Amino acid sequence: MKYGYARVSTKGQAAKGNSLEEQVNKLTAEGCEEIYKEAFTGTKAARPEFQKLLNCLETGDTLVVTKLDRFARSTVDGIQTVKALFEKGVRVHILNMGLVEDTPTGRLVFNIMSSFAEFERDMIIERTQEGKAIAKQRPDFVEGRPKKFNKKQIAHALELLDNHSYKQVEEITGISKSTLIRAKRTLKQSN
């Protein structure tokens, strides 16, 4: 039987070729009869759906994933998982690599590709950290996402609350009720 595994790091991940829906579509097109899917970061050991899938695989089954980075947390993890699957008599098919065969050449290719995937992930993390370090040197640097509304807009919305409901103020200003409640609480704490 062909089993598929699809994973995104976060529920909102929409990187091209990595969304859960895109992965499921590719696995379905590949003929997977059962697909396990989850939103879990690949760097975490506890991936419950992946563990369920590994436990149900039997001799003669095929595990299909769209990309190597959906499959393993690291090179060592990938090698150990593939080795365990080979010992069970399970075939591994990584769509952007091909069928990983239980031969010296197949294992070598898999190990090399796993190393490159881990290297690529590490380089992305390193570049992100470097960019953040450079940005922190700017005097106007503020950690986190920029505010959607400025202080003047929030103050105006809070004034409107004197004569309007939260819903009315939200319709007038576009500022959500939860943001208004937080702003009101912050204002009370500062007084």
Alpha carbon distance, N-terminus to C-terminus of the chain: 66
- Which residue of the set 9, 74, 115, 176 is catalytic? 9
Quick check: is 74 catalytic? no
Name every residue whose Cβ is closer than 8 Å to that of residue 26 and which is 6 or more positions away in sequence.
Answer: 66, 95
Query: Which among 83, 74, 82 is positioned nearest to 116, based on CA atoms?
Result: 74
Q: At what angle do helices 177-190 and 166-173 cross, to 10 degrees?
A: 110
Give 38-45's long-range contacts (Cβ < 8 A, gap of 24+). 38/6, 38/7, 39/7, 39/8, 39/9, 39/10, 39/11, 39/13, 40/7, 40/9, 41/9, 41/10, 42/7, 42/9, 42/69, 42/70, 42/72, 42/73, 43/73, 44/73, 45/73
Active site residues: 9
